[in-house]
Structure 1
């Protein structure tokens, strides 16, 4: 059962700059919020539940509360595509909590059970791939959506069916408004499109922003040669320089160039050895080398990013250009755009 549960690879999305008009494709688009969580392909079969991830790794053991809900609320023989999320905040002021979701991936069963009670997950369904003995992947999305609503529309929390619209202007409103609840964009799906596993057959529209940040260090590339990633910081209101993320994706030639280019900024001990430095450990860095080469915080660069998670960039950011005209101490959090808060419960309503 475990192998079959993960046999359907999820359909993917390619990035575009703007929400496309509904008539930009034959048959039109269906638009829905882009949920920021763990992608999950859920199969219920023979009274058993299996949750596969985008990387084909099983997520089942980490979310026992969802397994119980799926066994109770989902129809036998179904395969559902959706997103696992964690909600935080009080009534009227809820949002997605990526940090709490990430904590749910833990090797100790006792901790998994405790967190299932303390930070229970929800599941937002957005496609139905199988029902009973019938495969639905070749059906157009408009039909799969209708079948999804029929099968799961009355399911109570923690199972939800995502809202959709065929109105491009409303989708553009969602793009701006729902960010305040922790969502990170909008998805556009061809209404007449089949489900194409592992193909970028959908479109995703995310926020694109820029910021001037301070270079505080670098990690050596995993090959052992050149710069693998630049580590970035911003000054807070107290004047403290805080690590906010990293930027990578350099060519091999550029990685080697950066080693020499950044050498004058390397912080060294009196002995001449590079000063020791490590980033904070997290559940994702467990067992990994967190050391880096510290640099004097003098150089500024401009990066592109989509959203923040607390005081850190949510994803790896894109290097755009060096900013020799900027003073490092002028690079502060106050330059960042802060979206207006929006209640997650309102997003989950359909």
Structure 2
């Protein structure tokens, strides 16, 4: 490709903050796959956050990107799938499949969209050093008449409107607000933006653990919530413990370990090795299409302890991201930890945002 900015390019990232800062440009935080698009005439590449190509997983986007984007450009954005007026990250994950026939079938049934929010190069001019204020103007001009599958991400400098977006957009599956400095350049790989995400807490059953890659200490705790059938569903995991605390947790949880699941089905996830079991219930050990070499094994614990965790966003019936451990809850009984405690945001139709 004969472009002033060439792949692979690591996208500019964001650091977390508790509040939306004043005096910046604000956008929704899209819950999709970050993607930098490189277009040089008929040649189009879609680079992921890791620098790997996403083009083969979203073939339906390529004609639309060529039709809607400038002939020679580099654009930063997000690949999303919208179903029933909200983002569907699970449908997005299904695209990461080794079978090309499966990918193309899904592309026809549930097509993806691309939301553009930054212009990194146009023609023979790199805009990496250009202030965001000017990059946004160029992007708006280039996508003034855009349409599906390419959308221009709404942006505002109105702080009060950003606060309203923060509350409203969650109902469509978005998980916060991103703030950008108007005079800031584009810094690949650096956390130069600010993200403000929702945070809520839930009391969860600790029903298993995974060991850390560095040795026989706790890597993460596997969390469960009981559904209306009384089945314990894996809702996520919590980690990010200091190394000393990982070793302490391993010793602390040792009396609950059930190494080598018993044959009497006394653990709610003892059928995790059977692929059919994952179709009806959510439990550890499901395949990872991003990393087929990842070890899915885990150590079962008697589901007797409850902990409080902080989470930012629900995706269906699970935490979208790794939860944060807050404290043990010895005052809670495990069977009282149900989905009913989770707050559900008011519904917001994403089509009103994307037009």
Q: TM-score, normalised to structure 2's length?
A: 0.90
Task: State the SS of the aligned residue for 2:81.
Answer: strand
Q: 2:193 aligns with which of 202, 220, 230?
A: 202
Task: State the SS of the aligned residue for 1:173.
Answer: helix
Question: In the alignment, what sits opposite 1:222?
Answer: 213
Deviation per residue, 1:138-192 (Å, 9 max, x gap): 2211111111011112121000001111111110111110011011110111111
Q: CA deviation at 1:291?
A: 2.3
Measure, in 1, the Cα distance between the counterparts of 2:292 and 2:82.
25
Range with bigger deviation, 134-143 or 286-295: 286-295
Measure, in 1, the Cα distance between the counterparts of 2:31 and 2:163.
17
Alignment coverage as a number of residue pairs: 337
Q: 2:144 aligns with which of 144, 147, 153?
A: 153
> 2:76 matched to 1:85?
no
Measure, in 1, the Cα distance between the counterparts of 2:10 and 2:2.
14
The 8 Å contact of residues 212 and 300 in structure 1, kept in 2 or not, is answered as: yes
> Structure 1 residues 267, 2: CA separation in 2 closer, same or farther (over 3 Å shift)?
farther
Q: CA deviation at 1:289?
A: 2.7
> Structure 1 residues 221, 277: CA separation in 2 closer, same or farther (over 3 Å shift)?
farther
Q: CA deviation at 1:222?
A: 2.2
Deviation per residue, 1:76-120 (Å, 9 max, x gap): 11000000001112xxxx110000001111121111111111111
Measure, in 2, the Cα distance between the counterparts of 1:240 and 1:230.
19
Q: CA deviation at 1:286?
A: 4.2
Trace 1:104-253 onto structure 2 (pairs within 5 A).
Answer: 104-253=95-244
> 2:36 matched to 1:36?
no
The 8 Å contact of residues 288 and 294 in structure 2, kept in 1 or not, is answered as: no
Measure, in 2, the Cα distance between the counterparts of 1:70 and 1:305.
35
Question: In the alignment, what sits opposite 2:338?
Answer: 332
Task: State the SS of the aligned residue for 2:51.
Answer: coil
Q: CA deviation at 1:236?
A: 1.8
Measure, in 1, the Cα distance between the counterparts of 2:2 and 2:114.
20
Deviation per residue, 1:3-28 (Å, 9 max, x gap): 96424321111110011122xxxxxx
The 8 Å contact of residues 20 and 163 in structure 2, kept in 1 or not, is answered as: yes
- Runs of 4+, deviation exceeding 4 Å: 268-271, 274-277
Measure, in 2, the Cα distance between the counterparts of 1:32 and 1:101.
21
Q: CA deviation at 1:68?
A: 1.3
Measure, in 2, the Cα distance between the counterparts of 1:205 and 1:150.
28
Task: State the SS of the aligned residue for 2:302.
Answer: coil
> Structure 1 residues 39, 214: CA separation in 2 closer, same or farther (over 3 Å shift)?
same
Q: CA deviation at 1:287?
A: 4.5
Q: TM-score, normalised to structure 1's length?
A: 0.91
> Structure 1 residues 254, 219: CA separation in 2 closer, same or farther (over 3 Å shift)?
same
Task: State the SS of the aligned residue for 2:37.
Answer: strand
Range with bigger deviation, 242-251 or 31-40: 242-251
Task: State the SS of the aligned residue for 1:304.
Answer: strand
The 8 Å contact of residues 152 and 161 in structure 1, kept in 2 or not, is answered as: yes
The 8 Å contact of residues 41 and 66 in structure 2, kept in 1 or not, is answered as: no
Gaps of 5+ in 2: 273-283
Q: CA deviation at 1:283?
A: 4.2
Gaps of 5+ in 1: 23-28
User: Root-mean-square deviation (CA), in Å?
Assistant: 2.0
Range with bigger deviation, 96-105 or 231-240: 231-240
The 8 Å contact of residues 76 and 119 in structure 2, kept in 1 or not, is answered as: yes
